[in-house]
Amino acid sequence: MDQNVIQQARILAGRLIRQAGAVALERFDDIAEVTDKDDYGDVVTEVDLLTEAIILPGIQSTFADHAIHSEEAGSLGGESDWLWLIDPLDGTNNFAIGLPAFATSITLLYKREPVLGVVYEPLTDRLFVSSAGEGAFVNGKPMQVKPAARLSKANIGWIQGHAVRNDPRAVRLRHHLDVSFKRMMRLWAPTLQWCLLAKGDIDGIVLYNSEGDDLYSGILMVKEAGGIVVDFEGRPFTGMQAEPYLIACHPDNRDELLRTVRAGLGEAE
């Protein structure tokens, strides 16, 4: 793995993501068109396409031999050990209704492992950056996942895939989390929840079958901030999975959060 590539990619991604964020900020609460994207309630706006049109050419012109997958454009480029994942507007549903919780996410993976994650929240001008082995930062300040002294008083983020909808198992788990913690939070903008955990502002995340272009920047952000990401069996999460079921938190809270999730699923220890 070429560290020079990662360094160059970090500079490029930071520049492109700020340009994309400026467009989203300018159009916030003043969008012209919202289109249904699928049968699950997901939507797309002209801002998704405008921000994507900034990011993709910038990557392609600098890293022509890299593969790219972007939420709206799909797969671009040929086979490569290097893969860029782009979510041009994470939280599109929020954006469409004027709810100020959205971001742009850029991830670079090498052989299916995230090595660079960049997330920009334009409304707060917060730039989150993580590189493999080099930590996680918000506007240049190091981030650290914090342990919760009592999980019963914790704020836990919930993330589920669009296709999950009212899956009875997910509904049962979601309700159990809602009554087991101080607050079970759904932002509809997953990358922001991952960044809040990395920053130490929330105490954990439970993710139910939600894989996409917004996932791996957040996972790297949390790991590089000292957190752990494991599946519902407690196994460390690596690589990429089509249907991930994950918990993320400070290592000190791993066992209790895992027990709570299993109890919510009706599974014995």
CA angle 42, 46, 51 (to 5 degrees): 100
Mean pLDDT of successive 10-residue stretches along the chain, which has 269 residues: 90 98 90 60 75 96 95 87 96 90 97 97 98 97 96 95 91 96 94 98 97 95 98 96 96 97 84
Give the whole-angstrom CA distance, residue 71 versus residue 87.
5
Residue 267, pLDDT score: 76
* Runs of H (alpha helix) within 185-264: 190-199, 215-224, 254-264
Q: Residues forming the annotated binding site?
A: 71, 87, 89-90, 214
Residue 42, pLDDT score: 60
| Domains of the chain listed by start with CATH number | 3-142 (3.30.540.10), 151-264 (3.40.190.80)
Q: Which residues pair with 245 in a beta bridge?
A: 208
Cβ count within 10 A of residue 215? 25
Cβ count within 10 A of residue 154? 22
Residue 73, pLDDT score: 86
Q: Residues forming the annotated binding site for Mg(2+)?
A: 71, 87, 89-90, 214
Residue 218, pLDDT score: 97
Residue 71, pLDDT score: 81
Residue 2, pLDDT score: 80
Q: Residue 134, SS3? A: coil
Residue 268, pLDDT score: 57
Where b means 16+ CB within 10 Å and e means fewer, 79-103 reads eeebbbbbbbbbbbbbbbeeeebbb
Cβ count within 10 A of residue 106? 29
